Amino acid sequence: MKIVTIVGARPQFIKAAAVSRELRKKHTEILVHTGQHYDKKMSDIFFEELDIPKPDYNLKIGSSTHAIQTGEMMVGIERVLLKEKPDYIMVYGDTNSTLAGAIAASKLLIPIIHIEAGLRSFNLNMPEEQNRVLTDRISKYLFCPSDTSVKNLFNENIKENVYNIGDVMCDAVLYYSKKIQYNKPEYYFNKFIGLFSNVELGYNKWYLATIHRAENTDSISKLEEILKAFESLKYKVIFPVHPRIRVFIEELYSKYKYKNIIFIEPIGYIEMLYLTKNSEKVITDSGGLQKEAYILKVPCITLRKETEWIETLKDNCNVLCDINSDDIIDKVQNTIINKNWIENYYGNGDSAKKICYILSKKG
């Protein structure tokens, strides 16, 4: 079986790392990188660190408006599909690269395998929600990470070839967290590049924060509110800065000269797992990080009104929080979190194996 896989953004590299390893044991995979994420620290570092096969095609599309970015990706992907004539296309998650791959394949009647299908925030203002709903609608095989996502599809009358195989991100967390060198903080801290000052060693306790969603970063005022809260927290906040917010962060830093926030360049996956595993709490609007925190048993405060990963809300393992500095401070410092949860709703780390088994049976 020949499969063309589309990746383009940071979380997709991580998911593909887990699936490609299994897929290539029996099938031929052609890897296409759309170039949605292109900075070395947003892309190359993952391929090197996670041992992901080099992409067969890099479309180098880069950043633009949604329509230009998605449209240019579709043109490039169509060319690859016409040349490679695969049996299937495989797309991951909810980015513009996902949607572009799905539409290009659908028009050529190439069946689509959607990994991480069925997630819903029920907020259609989010570009990610639009991408998910549209991709699910035209996919042939829908591999869901949870019971909730299977139910979401059922409610939209999508019932055929829907499988709960657990979360491929869980495969990645369990596989790569074995590679963390837990006793060597200096090994990791030496790798971090501070944006405004050197990263000092020896923080015993920290919070880890990431913010990048359009809803939180399209204007500077929400970021200002978030950073105001971070500045007042009990422990230092380590904050790897996504390139989409860098200009705002520089502007706010020149005004407030934050002392409690350590802004660093984007970091690799294993460094991120290290920081997550050892943090007091994670504060984020990322979907991936909410789950990584859950799987690694680290409490999470999610700066959003809703989450697609509703299982993480049980036992207060994850808490939703408004963009309001008092609310953020209160939730981060005062939420009592049950650290003894044992349920893992996202599988045992064998999701990629299950995907490959089902595909092999279907032929």
- DSSP state for residue 360 in the 8-state scheme: H
Residue among 176, 195, 177, 290 at smallest CA distance from 239: 195
3-state helix, strand, coil in the chain (%, to 5): 45, 15, 40
242 is catalytic: no
For residues 23 and 354, the answer to whether their CB atoms sit within 8 Å is: no
Residue indicated by tokens 């070395």: 40
Residue type present at position 46: F
Q: Which of 33, 37, 114, 212 is catalytic?
A: 212
Instruction: Give SS3 for 141.
Output: strand
Question: Coil, strand, or helix at residue 271?
Answer: helix
Tokens of 13: 């590299």
Smallest gap from residue 188 Cβ to ligand UD1 (A): 21
Give, to the nearest 10 degrees, the angle between helix 325-334 and helix 220-231: 40
Residues that bind ligand UD1 (CB under 6 A): 9-11, 36-39, 42, 63, 94-96, 127-128, 212, 243-244
Residue 70 CB, shortest distance to ligand UD1, in Å, is 9
- Three-state DSSP at 247 gives helix
Element housing 164 (H / E) = strand 162-164
Residue closer to ligand UD1 (CB basis): 53 or 127: 127
**Shortest distance in whole angstroms from residue 241 CB to ligand UD1:** 11
CB of 214 to ligand UD1, least distance (A): 7
Sheet hosting strand 281-284, strand order edge to edge: 261-264, 236-240, 206-210, 281-284, 300-302, 318-320
| CB crowding 27-61: b at 16 or more within 10 Å, else e | eebbbbbbbbbbeebbbebbbebbebeebebbbeb
Which residue's CB is nearer to ligand UD1, number 70 or number 233?
70
Instruction: Give the Cα separation of 357 and 363 in Å (integer).
Output: 10
CA of residue 43 relative to chain centroid, distance: 13
DSSP category for residue 194:
B
The residues annotated as belonging to the active site are 212
